Amino acid sequence: LLPRAVRVDPRHLCAVWPHVRVRARDELVEAAVEEHAAAVQHHDPGAKPAQQLGVVRDHDRGAPHASAVGDERADLMPTSPYGVSKLAAEKLLLAYLDWFSVPVKILRYFSVYGPNHRPDMAYSRIIDAIINHKEFTVYGSGEQKRSNTYIDDVVEATLLADIKASPGDIMNICGDKTISLNEAIDLIENLLGEKLIRKQGELRRGDQKETSGDNKRALAILGWRAKISLRQGLQRQILEVQSQSP
């Protein structure tokens, strides 16, 4: 893994990233296979089979700048190395279910955010830029839309899936509404009472126009629906950042 401060030729990342993601998932599933096999071998009636919850976040379903919108039955045709690696990980999990009966359950998380958000993610960077009066580059029109999911909602869905989902289930874990980057910036500015210093940049290759999921399957199987609105979630994220400021 490379430090985020190191700038790397994207062509090198295209070659390395899929290998890293799939290799990590392969080792994780192999460990689950061993645990599952050990429980079966010892015929322990109280042993809980290995519960493998696969995490595959908002799929890249098509050409650069295309949209990824729909339910779990939508065709997946990723073209970016990042999207291909996520789909490969999902296929690997399903192969282990088919070949070794590892009870995998796949959750597709969509744009997770909240307190302790990764500092390189958009909302964290926007909040930091406003608080510290730094520039933030908006690539393209800023009308790219995302279906955001607050971290507490994601945790709840994951715990419910461990109990209620069946092996082979695939579910979108996502909020009910989509919001553009421009709308998110306006909301964060409103919550902080300050304006963002914007810098305009060209639309980046692979930046999708919209990623949003249909969560009806999660509602039907888990009884789950996202509870925290984007305003509530961003307010909590901002409070956490402010609490750590000197």
- List all residues 6 or more positions away from 13 whose beta carbon is below 8 Å from its beta carbon: 81
**Whether the Cβ atoms of residue 113 and residue 174 lie closer than 8 Å to each other:** no
- Cα–Cα distance list, 143 to 57, 136, 137 (Å): 21, 15, 14
Of the candidates 82, 96, 109, 113, the residue annotated as catalytic is 82
**Whether the Cβ atoms of residue 181 and residue 143 lie closer than 8 Å to each other:** yes
Q: How far apart are CA 63 and CA 193, in angstroms?
A: 38
Active-site residue, 123 included: no
**Which of 113, 114, 56, 125 is closest to 88 using CA atoms?**
56
Coil/strand/helix, residue 211: strand
- Cα–Cα distance list, 155 to 88, 113, 116, 159 (Å): 24, 12, 14, 6
Coil/strand/helix, residue 180: strand
Q: How far apart are CA 128 and CA 200, in angstroms?
A: 18
Dihedral of alpha carbons 10, 87, 204, 121, sign: negative
**Whether the Cβ atoms of residue 223 and residue 164 lie closer than 8 Å to each other:** yes
Catalytic residue numbers?
Answer: 82
